[in-house]
Structures are given as structure tokens and as C-alpha cells.
Amino acid sequence: MDQSTTLVAAFLGLLEGLTEFIPVSSTGHLLLAGHFLGFESAGRTFEVVIQLGAVLALLVLYFGQLWAVFRNAPHDPQARRFILSVLIAFMPAVVIGVMAHGFIKTVLFETPMLIAVMLIIGGFILLIAERIAPEARHDDAMKFPLPMALKIGFIQCLAMIPGTSRSGATIVGALMLGASKRAAAEFSFFLSMPTMAGAFAYDLYKNRDVLDASALGEIAIGFVMAFISAVLVVKWLLGYVSKHGYALFGYWRIIVGGVAVVALMAGY
């Protein structure tokens, strides 16, 4: 692995961690950045696997809270219901992700213009959703009703189109179903853990034959950078959205998507 590849892998890892938990589509940013930087991993595994670095950041930051939930689950109905709500929300992604994995990786991941357009569309949806969302009825992400969790799980599946944003889909879905801005972000955090870990495990299995030593080096660098930057973002995000909402991220998506469309149309 030469120095330029190392720097690109580190930059993409940093980008992953900075964008994974905000509703701007980390995958969209990674694929567009990789396109313009001339970086392409075998089977697009790098872009999926380094997300595990961001998941590890969440596990570290929420370890105490999650440990208390699982410790209390045998005798606490509320803890069991929270675990069940996350599992229910996770199941649609399992079924649809397995069924559509080949199409997603070989067609959707290879279409930069689609990614750029979805960034723009998602930006407008985020701005509109924040304006028309009903008054918040659920301000605790650990107490979402089970039917609400299932609906959020189906909405999350829209993010299988790169550029849509997993966190963006779940946050918009939660807002429209009556969650507060902070609770919507936190439930997106909790749901991301099994979703991204599952995507990592399945993608690693499907692409086990195309991985090589150089790819593992790139992944390790991206993983570490994603972990460090994700820790910083998660600590900052909840306080920010509680006070200012999600408009900043909607405008960011529109600007990045617009610049990408112009660059692609110009032949870059």
C-alpha cells in the first residue's frame, strides 16, 4: 500500500466517521469521494466494513447505558421492550438487504449520478419533514411503541439506495411518527448498531474471496479514523439537534449533491 493510498484510506475513514450518524449519507459521501479520488475497493467492501469503526464508537459511548439494559432485561419489562423494539426495527433491513444485496452493490453503488441526485432529494425531504412533522409525542428513544419501531425499520430500508442516508431515513421517519428531534437521533443510533454490524458481517462473507492483504491494510486505517471521528460527532450531535434541528444537514446535502451533479456532467 503506497503513501497516496494510505492518505486516501485515512481521509475516507475520517469522512465515514464524520457523516455516519448525521443525516447526510456517509455511503453517498464515501462513494462520491472515492469516485473523484479514483479509489475503488474490491467488491466495495472498504466502504461497508469501515462503518464498523463508527459502530464501535457508539458501543464505547453508550456502553454503560446498554450494559444496564441487558443486565436488567431478565426482570425489567421496559428493558425487554426496548431490546425488542430495536430488533423489530432491524428485521426489515435483514430481509430486504439479503434479497437485494447483489443489485445494491453492483448497480446502485456504481451509479455516482444517482447518489448525487439522492443527496439533493434527501436534503429537500429533510427540510420539509422538519417543517411539517407533528408535535413530538415520544421524547425517549428507549420507549418507542413497537408498531412505531417497525415502521421506522421499513423506512430505514430506503437507505439501501446510496445517497439516501440510513440515519436520515430513520430520523425523518421517527420525526413524522411523533418523535422529538433528540429521540429520533438516539433511536437512529441504537438501530444503527445491529444494522451496520449485520451489513458488515454479511458483506465480509459475500466478498471473502476478493479480499487481500492490501485491502485489509486500507480497511484498518479507515476503521481507526472512522472510530475517532465518530466519537467526536456523536458527542456533539445530540446537543446540536436538540437546539437547532436538522436544517443545516438538509442544506449540506443539497450543496454537496449539486456540486457532484455539476462535476459529473462536466465529465469528472
10-residue mean pLDDT series, the chain (268 residues):
77 91 88 83 70 89 92 93 95 84 63 89 93 92 95 91 88 94 93 85 70 71 92 90 91 95 89
Q: Match 433511536 to its residue by C-alpha cell.
A: 187
Q: What was the pLDDT predicted at 140?
A: 93
Range of the domain at 129: 3-265
Contact 99, 240 (CB under 8 A): no
Q: What was the pLDDT predicted at 105?
A: 60
Q: Give the span between the Cα atoms of 163 and 122, in whole angstroms.
A: 8
Handedness of CA 63, 200, 53, 88 (dihedral sign): negative
Q: What was the pLDDT predicted at 197?
A: 83
Dump the DSSP string for 112-140.
HHHHHHHHHHHHHHHHHHHHHPPPP-B--
**Quick one: which H or E segment has residue 5?**
helix 3-19
Q: Give the span between the Cα atoms of 202 and 144, in whole angstroms.
A: 28
**What are the C-alpha distances in Å from 9 to residues 14, 72, 98, 133, 217?**
9, 40, 27, 38, 9
Number of domains, the chain: 1
Q: What was the pLDDT predicted at 124?
A: 96
CA angle, residues 35, 153, 244, in degrees to nearest 5: 70
Q: What was the pLDDT predicted at 48?
A: 73
**138-141 long-range Cβ contacts below 8 angstroms, 24+ apart:** 138/174, 138/177, 138/178, 138/179, 138/180, 138/183, 139/179, 139/180, 139/182, 139/183, 140/183, 141/179, 141/182, 141/183, 141/184, 141/186, 141/187, 141/189, 141/190
